[in-house]
Amino acid sequence: MFILTVEVDGESLTTDDIILVARRHRDVILAESAKEKILRSREVVESALRDGLTVYGVNTGFGDLSQVSIDRKDIQRLQVNLIRSHSAGVGDPFPIEVVRGMMVLRANALAKGYSGVRVEVVETLLEMLNKGVVPVVPQQGSVGSSGDLAPLAHMALVLIGEGEAYFKGDTLAGSKAMKRAGIKPVTLEAKEGVALVNGTQSMTAVGILAVHDALNTLRDACIAAAISLEALRGTRSAFDERIHSVRPHEGQVDIARVMRLILDDSEINRSHADCGKIQDAYSLRCIPQVLGASLDTIRYVRSVLEVEINAATDNPLVFSDDGSVISGGNFHGQPIALAMDFLGIALSELANISERRVNRLVNSHLSGLPPFLTTEGGLESGMMIAQYTAAALVSENKILSHPASVDSIPTSADQEDHVSMGTIAARKARQILDNVKNVIAIEYMCSAQGIDLLAPLEPSDALMKAMNVIRENVLKLEDDRSLHGDIAAIRELMESRSIVSAVEEITGFLFEE
C-alpha cells in the first residue's frame, strides 16, 4: 500500500514510517488527537508560571546550574541560550536521512503530550520536514546522557532561524533556508528549548536505519553463503530441518529454511552426490547457527527501538492528568546504547564468517578450484587481494565492536555522572554495517567466479537467478583487472536489492522481519 502521508500522534509511529520519512520524503502530519494532548500539557506549564512555582528547565538553569532561578522576564532568553550553548557538535554532519529521522522522532515524542510545548513547535518541525529544510547536524558531541543534547540542539537552531540547513541542494544559513521555504521560525517559550534537546532521537534514528539495512544485508549474506557452498561443492545435510528442530532458536530455524529454499537442487549438487564427504567446515556447516543468531539479535534490537520510537524522553515530564511536573531520567540512552553495541557485534559476525568462506574459495588447497580463482595463477593473481580486503574489513570491525556502552565519563560538573555513549554505539554499528556490506560483496564476487569455474554445471534455480543478475553487471574474471569497480557494482546491486529480488522470484520471501 502506497502511503502518501505519515501521521504522528506520539503512540503509533513505526520503523517503516520512519524509513518513509527519512528516505522517501513522505509528508508528515500531526494527528488531531495529539494536538489536544499537547495543549493540555502546555497548560500545566503556563499554570506553573502563573503560580510562581519553580520548575526545572522552565525557570531554572540546566544540569549543575539547576539551582539557579531565572526571572520571568528572562525565560525566553533562557531557552534560546540553551539551544545556542548546546550547539557544540563537531565532525562530519549526519546524512540527511538521519536528520530527517531525528526530526520526525522528536516531533513524535513531543506529540505524546508530556513535554509542555506549544502545538506550533511541533507543527513547525513537521513543516520543515515537508518543505525540505534539513538542519546540518555534526555527528560528534553526544555522550548520550541527557540524551543527544548537541545533535538535537543543532537541529533546534534551524527551528529558531539560526544554524545551518540543507535546502533544495544548497547549504544555507538557517534563517535563509527557512525564509526560502516560507517557514516562520519559532520564538521559544518556557520549557520548549529543553524539550527539544532532551531525548535519544539521534541514536534512535541512526539505529532504525541501521536495523532496516541490516535485515536486507542478512538476506544477501544468506544468498552469498549459498553460492559459496555450491562453488565449494558443500553438502546440504547441515540444513536438514530435523537438526534445527531440536535446537529451535527462531533465527537458526529461519536461516536453515532459507538455505534449503535457495539451494533446493542443482546440477552441481548432483555431480558430487557420491563423493563421500560427510561434513563441511564450520563456515559452511554452521551458517544457520551463526547467521541465525545475528538475525535474532537484529530482531531484538528492532524491538528495543520500537519502544523508543513512541517514548517520552525529555525532562522534566509534564503530566496533565494531575498537573505534575516531574524530573527524571528518561533521556538516558542506556537501552539504545546496549542494543546498538549488540547490533554491531551481531553484524561483525556476518562478515567474520563470510571472510572465512572467501578464504576457502581462493585457497586451492581447500576449494578444489584454481588458485585465487584464476586459470593462469602466477602470471595472474586473480582474486588474491580481494581476500586481503575482506580480512582488513573484518579486523577493523573487531576494533569497532568494542562496546561503547561500557564507557562512561562524567559531565556537567558531575551532575551527569553516568552516561550511555549511545550515539557513539549507534554510529559504530552503522560503520560496521558498511564494512559488512563490502565483505558480502566480495564474497558474491568470489563465489560467482567459483560457480563459473565449475561450468557447464549449474547451481540451483534460485542461485542461477542471482548469478544472472551479477553477470549482467560484473563479467567473469578472465584476465587480471582492477576489482574495485566489481566490488562497488555488486555493492550497488545489494543496495538496490536486485539480487535478493531475483532470488525471491523463485523462493518467495526469504524470512519475516
Same fold across 5-199 and 206-507: no
pLDDT in tens, the chain (513 residues): 566 899 999 999 999 999 999 999 999 999 999 999 999 999 999 998 888 887 877 777 666 666 777 787 888 888 999 999 999 999 999 999 999 999 999 999 999 999 999 999 999 999 999 999 999 999 999 998 888 999 999 999 999 999 999 999 999 999 999 999 999 999 999 999 999 999 999 999 999 999 999 999 999 999 999 999 999 999 999 999 999 999 999 999 999 999 999 999 899 988 887 766 778 999 999 999 999 999 999 999 999 999 999 999 998 999 999 999 898 999 999 999 999 999 999 999 999 999 999 999 999 999 999 999 999 999 999 999 999 999 999 999 999 999 999 998 888 877 777 889 999 999 999 999 999 999 999 999 999 999 999 999 999 999 999 999 999 999 999 999 999 999 999 999 999 999 999 999 999 999 987
User: Which residues lie closer than 8 Å to 248 by C-beta, 6 or more apart?
Assistant: none
d(CA 149, CA 419): 12
d(CA 472, CA 68): 68
Cell readout for 157 is 537552531
Q: What angle do CA 117, 173, 129 make, to 5 degrees?
A: 45
Which CATH superfamily hosts domain 5-199? Fumarase/aspartase (N-terminal domain) (1.10.275.10)
Q: Is the dihedral of CA 408, 410, 411, 417 positive or negative?
A: positive
Which CATH superfamily hosts domain 206-507? Fumarase/aspartase (Central domain) (1.20.200.10)
What does the pLDDT read at residue 2? 60
Q: Is 325 helix (H, G, I), strand (E, B) or coil?
A: strand
* Helix %, strand %, coil % of the chain (to 5): 60, 10, 35
Q: How far apart are the first and last CA of the chain?
A: 18
Domain range list for the chain: 5-199, 206-507
Q: Which of 56, 166, 300, 388 is catalytic?
A: 56
What does the pLDDT read at residue 72? 79
Q: How many residues does the chain have?
A: 513
| Count of other CB atoms within 10 angstroms of residue 394 | 23
d(CA 240, CA 231): 20
Catalytic residue flag (residue 444): no
d(CA 315, CA 53): 16
Name the residue among 185, 25, 443, 468 with its Cα closest to residue 176.
185
